[in-house]
Amino acid sequence: MSIELVVAVAQNGVIGAGGKMPWHIPDDLKHFKKITTGHPILMGRKTWESLPRKPLPNRKNIVMTSQSLNVPPEVICVATIEEAIAAASEGEGGSEGGEKLMVIGGGKIYKLFEPYASCIHLTQINADIEGDTYFHITNSDAWQETSRETHPLMEPNSHHSHPYAFTTLVRIK
């Protein structure tokens, strides 16, 4: 099973502020849905709590936490990396599990899983933004950019708060 990170990050490394994403980029949400639909997704407790209290549809939702959580029955709670991978690998009703585990945050979960990741789906927000949660690639020499799709801000009719780029990085080391 491959492990892939899906993260939107500002130039200064911010990924969150007060439990929310501190920008409004509707196309990033569409991109996120396209990348993650049909695959198991893994998130930390705080990311789970930032969602509208129901699992994201058409994805096996796995929450990594050391705390007891009240979650719907279709959401799987795990405490370790091994449990997360096992939960993502298990199929439902005799079917096979996912080929990819999509890690969707937050900061502590990204840091924990980056050493195991083979790919990072990165939305780069072209702005410095205030926040309290960060993501930084620990060893940039280990990654190679394989694709980039740039989206400049088209004022005054843009429905996005900042210019951005979708970038794919694959591990080379």
25-78: per-residue pLDDT in tens?
999 999 999 999 999 999 999 999 999 878 999 999 999 999 999 999 999 999
CATH level 3 topology of 18-171: Dihydrofolate Reductase, subunit A (3.40.430)
CA 85 to chain centre: 16
Q: Own/partner pairs for 72-75, CB < 8 Å, 24+ apart?
A: 75/48
Q: Taking the CA of residue 69 as centre, how many other CA atoms within 13 Å lie in the half-sphere pointing to its CB? A: 22
Give the single-character DSSP code of 114: G
pLDDT in tens, 100-152: 999 999 999 999 999 999 999 999 999 999 999 999 999 999 999 999 999 98
pLDDT at position 94 is: 43
pTM for the full predicted model: 0.93
**Dihedral of alpha carbons 171, 110, 64, 59, sign:** negative
**pLDDT tier at 153 (50, 70, 90 boundaries)?**
confident
Predicted confidence (pLDDT) at residue 165 exceeds the cutoff of 90 = yes
122 or 173, higher pLDDT: 122
143-151 and 164-171 strand pairing: antiparallel
pLDDT at position 159 is: 77
**pLDDT tier at 93 (50, 70, 90 boundaries)?**
very low
